[in-house]
Amino acid sequence: MEETIQPLSRIFLEFGPFKIYWYGALIGLGVFIGYLIATKEAVKRGFPKETYADLLLFALPIAIISARIYYVIFRWEQFADEPIRALYIWEGGLAIHGGVIGGMLTAYFFCKKRGYSFWQIADITAPSLILAQAIGRWGNFMNQEVYGGPVTREFLEGLMLPEFIINQMYINGTYYHPTFLYESLWNILGFAILIYLRKFNLKQGEIFMTYMIYYSVGRFVLEMVRLDYLLIGGVLKTAQVVSIIAVVAAILLIIYRRMQPQTPRYWDPALPVVEKKATKKKKKKK
């Protein structure tokens, strides 16, 4: 006899016809916590307090749009019959790689316009980014997505998981690997590692490159277990291809920047900010 287990509600709050889904609420929570952590570190490094508020004003919507476009491109068969559903982001379907690409491109032009070091901003952002991803994965959990191959209930109980996670992994009559949880825990460990690396005053960009390598290695392995993956040409797993490219690119960039004797380090002050402040003070004295 098939078990009867009701999945958790996907709705976080409901006000009449308006609904806030757990998926969006948890992504928002991850962004907010990441913003607080990044802002605290940015101020310590000499950036204005409003730096990340200004950056997120542009980067967040662009990251969401690029994450959705990335997902829709590689899962078009899901939307071909009803293209309007491509706009229904509350149903899930935001690809992390697409979001990171869009967000970092926005950060690059933002830094160029403000005169900041892109690599220093990337380093400050990296721990916040991976922590936000760890929190956001729980939105996938509420949507019953990002799961792996079938397993038994006994297997999940053997992982010492709480009952609500085990029950939520019961989908269409079968229990599945909670790969969302594996990735979330991997990302939390990555957050601790990236925060720890701040103590070593590495070359600018190396904390972010470490994030790229660390996350990509974990994602590559997890894609071997996941069932709901994106494909390139119906053959290659998109996340694995992107992960390999990211690891190789990050290693080459670390080597290249290490070979440049003038490459600034993480603890170096945000020189453009200091110069602007000094300029303002001189004007006031006049």
Return the residue matching tokens 């907010």.
32
DSSP 221-264: HHTTTBSS--EETTTEEHHHHHHHHHHHHHHHHHHHHHT-TT--
Q: Are 78 and 88 in contact (CB under 8 A)?
A: no
Strands, E assignment, the chain: 11-15, 18-21, 150-151, 170-171, 174-176, 231-232, 236-237
For the chain, the maximum distance between any two Cα atoms, rounded to a whole number of angstroms, is 85
The DSSP H or E segment spanning 54 is helix 51-74
Is 137 one of the annotated binding-site residues? Answer: yes
How far apart are alpha carbons 32 and 29 in whole angstroms?
A: 5
Write the single-letter amino acid at 130.
Answer: I
The pair of three-digit structure tokens given for residue 207, joined into one six-digit string: 């904390």
- Cα 198 to Cα 20, 47, 157, 190, 267, distances in angstroms: 36, 16, 38, 13, 8
How far apart are alpha carbons 222 and 133 in whole angstroms?
A: 15
% helix, strand, coil for the chain, step of 5: 65, 10, 25
Q: Are 138 and 30 in contact (CB under 8 A)?
A: no
Measured in residues, the chain has a length of 286
Q: Are 62 and 103 in contact (CB under 8 A)?
A: yes
Q: Are 70 and 97 in contact (CB under 8 A)?
A: yes
Question: Binding site: residue ranges?
Answer: 137
